[in-house]
Amino acid sequence: MAKPQEIVLFHSVLGLRPGVLQSADRLREAGHIVHTPDLFDGQVFSDNATAAMSLRAIGFDRLIERSQGAVSRLPEHLVYAGFSSGGAFAELLAATRRGARGAILLHAPLLIRDLGWKVWPASVPVQVHFAQGDPLRNQQVIDAFAARVRKSSASLQQYDYACSGHLFADPDLPAYDAAASNVMWERVLEFLDGLGTSLRAASNG
């Protein structure tokens, strides 16, 4: 059995919704340790417009500080994952915090702005998941991020799904696509299992 991973899963701009907690439970059922920081102090939203107003009120810099604070007392060897805007915090921490084991970006727009890293760490593999018809998808940005990861020689897995929603893995939202969501989580678990296998091989070597 592959070594269980310790994961930090960041919510989207809609907050720490039940769908995020269900996702964390799904990972825990596979044997992993999962942390779900609440960057919005309990606020949850059902529409992006209201949520975006709250995000602006808090300020993106403040949210970065909260994400960093959320992991400050956790071990170094973490996998960072995030839904949509939460992927920005996962990306930043995976790129800049020592000991990162991997990054899983779930429908994350990526490179929301320059997050302060120039060179992706070669030791940190990345997995990216997007709906083909995602209204927030920016292929130019996705390609630019992929190029930076590949330039470092880090492993990159990119998956597209034949659906049109943004948060297609949240069962409580209209964009939910059960088939795409199930395939996505299978791939996420395979990615995590691969990290455990590679770590075990390195320790044996």
Predicted TM-score (pTM) above 0.85: yes
List the CATH number of the domain containing 45: 3.40.50.1820
Task: Give the structural domain span for 188.
Answer: 6-204
* Average pLDDT over every residue of 43-52: 88
Amino acid at 160: D
Q: What is the DSSP string of 49-89?
A: HHHHHHHHHH-HHHHHHHHHHHHTTS-S--EEEEETTHHHH
**1 in a domain, yes or no?**
no
Tell me, yes or no, whether 28 lies in a domain.
yes
The answer as to whether 109 is a domain residue is yes
User: How many C-beta atoms surround the C-beta of residue 125 within 10 A?
Assistant: 22
Judge whether 197 lies within some domain: yes
Please state the domain count of the chain. Answer: 1
pLDDT at residue 198 greater than cutoff 70: no
In a domain, 19, yes or no: yes
Does the pLDDT value for residue 200 go beyond 50? no
Contacts of 117 (CB under 8 A, 6+ apart): 92, 95, 96
Q: Is 92 among the domain residues?
A: yes
Mean pLDDT of the region 126-142 = 94
Q: Is the pLDDT higher at 202 or at 192?
A: 192
Q: What is the maximal distance between C-alpha atoms in the chain?
A: 52
**pLDDT band with cut points at 50, 70 and 90 for residue 111:** low
**pLDDT for position 113:** 60
* C-alpha to C-alpha distance for 49 and 198, rounded to whole angstroms: 42
